[in-house]
Chains A and B, each alone.
Chain A
Amino acid sequence: GAGVSQTPSNKVTEKGKYVELRCDPISGHTALYWYRQSLGQGPEFLIYFQGTGAADDSGLPNDRFFAVRPEGSVSTLKIQRTERGDSAMYLCASSPGTGVWVFYGYTFGSGTRLTVV
């Protein structure tokens, strides 16, 4: 696609429920990143994929968070047993590759606003 697409744009869920957030990167982009952004703060790194593998998952806050990218394109961020503290904007970004591609920046999607009530 022309840009990074994230669905749903908004998600309201009850505490304790399971949610899945989807990211469709730009076609051909091999690197994909997930960030979380709370109101008034900068994006906080969660995980990034190079192809199908998670190259760095050091930002995942605990084992309730998990992400997959089985075919090296679409990625799903999965959150189990959601808590009110998980409420935030979840941003996905992609780039053509890693390393020198940082010179050209990431392309971010518009995000999924997750609200846990």
Chain B
Amino acid sequence: GQSLEQPSEVTAVEGAIVQINCTYQTSGFYGLSWYQQHDGGAPTFLSYNALDGLEETGRFSSFLSRSDSYGYLLLQELQMKDSASYFCAVSKAAGNKLTFGGGTRVLVKP
């Protein structure tokens, strides 16, 4: 089976930096994805890591360590619009489906 662990909730103020950790257990690991979902909205793709290291896309960065079965999403210069749920998801080598974690709810305060 597969399991993913991420914190349930994080609160921070505007302009701050938030790191959302994700640890996973899966056989046949292929890569780690991150999605953002606002309340009532559709999940939207943020990033994908297949290799160890940091991927940077604007204010958001994602990191993967395959040897530690661990990744994180880094949100910098937080804005009110970043208040949302963030999901990590693993994909397996044998197929293309994503298995999602339970999500981390990020609340940004003024």
Q: Which residues of A contact B (CB under 8 A)?
A: 4, 31, 33, 35, 40-45, 48, 55-56, 59, 91, 93, 95, 98-99, 101-111
Contacts and interface: CB of A to CB of B under 8 A. Distances in A.
Determine chain B's interface SS by DSSP, over half rule.
strand
Nearest to B6: A42
Interface residues of B, number: 24
Nearest to B45: A105
A109 B45 CA distance: 12
Interface in B20-43: 30-31, 33, 35, 41-43
28 contacts: A31-B96, A41-B103, A42-B100, A42-B101, A43-B43, A43-B87, A43-B98, A44-B100, A45-B97, A45-B98, A48-B96, A93-B43, A98-B96, A102-B33, A102-B48, A102-B96, A103-B31, A103-B48, A104-B45, A104-B48, A105-B45, A105-B46, A105-B48, A106-B43, A107-B45, A108-B42, A110-B41, A110-B42
Contacts of A104: 45, 48
B98 A106 contact: yes
Contacts, number: 67
A42 B102 contact: yes
B42 A109 contact: yes
B65 interface: no
Nearest to B44: A108
B61 interface: no
A55 B30 CA distance: 18
B99 interface: yes
Given A91-B43, A111-B42, A99 B96 contact: yes
Interchain residue pairs A-B with the least CB separation, the first 8: A105-B45, A42-B100, A98-B96, A108-B42, A108-B43, A110-B42, A43-B100, A45-B97
